[in-house]
Copies of this chain bind each other. A is one copy, B any other.
Amino acid sequence: MDRAVSRSFDILECLARARQPSRLSDIAAETGLQKSTVHRILGTLCALGHARQDETGRYGPTLRAWELGAGVVTSMPIYRVAAGFLQALHRTTAETVSLTILSGDDVVYLEKIVAARPVRFYTRVGSRAPAPLTASGKAMLAFRPDARSVVERVAAVSNLDVPALMTELSQVRQRGYALSGYSPGVTSIGAAVAAGGAPPDAALSISAPTERLTARKRDALIEALLETRARMTEALDQR
């Protein structure tokens, strides 16, 4: 199980988590490794270009891992197709729009275009959230056979009313979109995107401040979202 490999990623994640350059001792403390071990692995990571040492001797991550991953993301068919639609959706609604995919029991934010007046709280591109707690996630789960198991696993760690959520999912299946209700102050509307009859593994969503959201406005957003989803599904199918 390549201990050094595992440790190197631990260290890299430790560097990335810290919002500022870390000291060797802190990294050693946080990872529970010997200083000399950390020092050697950091040396390797620096040599590989994944970490760097600033003038003061502190260590920080480089963009190398991100560059690596960005290639993966931007070459994902779903991303390439969605990018244009996402932007169009933003243009017509002027609200914050996001593209997410399902990864395990989480949704991962792949891309986001924020409204001119940004919302107070924001999910970052590259961040995760438990699928059953988000509009996007519910939109996808509603059409997935494994929804119940996902919901149950998430419920096990974050108190969640499983039966209520399952009925909500069946509503979502009928309506074609999901609403978030968990984060106060902002409402999200999510719609799943599926290709070729397979269970959906991506979703579009619109988020807007709840207070500003009249019923009429909400309906307009839903309509725009569903229309974009329809066109995007079509585009995906004919590839």
* CB neighbours of A47 from chain B (8 A): 1, 6
Near B by CB (< 8 A), chain A positions 86-134 give 87-88, 91, 101, 103, 108, 113-114, 116, 118, 124-128
Determine how many copies of this chain the complex contains.
2
B5-A67 in contact (CB<8A)? no
Q: Using A65-B68, A68-B65, A69-B69 as known contacts, say yes or no to A9 and B108 having CB atoms under 8 A apart.
A: no
Q: Is A182 an interface residue (CB 8 A)?
A: no
B74-A69 in contact (CB<8A)? no
A66-B66 in contact (CB<8A)? yes
**Complexed CA–CA distance, A67 and B4 (Å):** 21
**Complexed CA–CA distance, A4 and B1 (Å):** 11
Stretch at the interface among A11-19, A153-161, A185-193, A222-230: A11-19
B8-A71 in contact (CB<8A)? no
Q: Is A215 an interface residue (CB 8 A)?
A: no
Near B by CB (< 8 A), chain A positions 72-96 give 72-75, 83-84, 87-88, 91
Chain B residue at minimum C-beta to C-beta distance from A70? B126
Interface of A is mostly: helix
B125-A45 in contact (CB<8A)? no
A50-B1 in contact (CB<8A)? no
CB distance from A2 to the nearest CB of B (A): 4
B4-A125 in contact (CB<8A)? no
CB distance from A136 to the nearest CB of B (A): 15
Q: Is A48 an interface residue (CB 8 A)?
A: yes
B50-A126 in contact (CB<8A)? no
* CB neighbours of A50 from chain B (8 A): 9
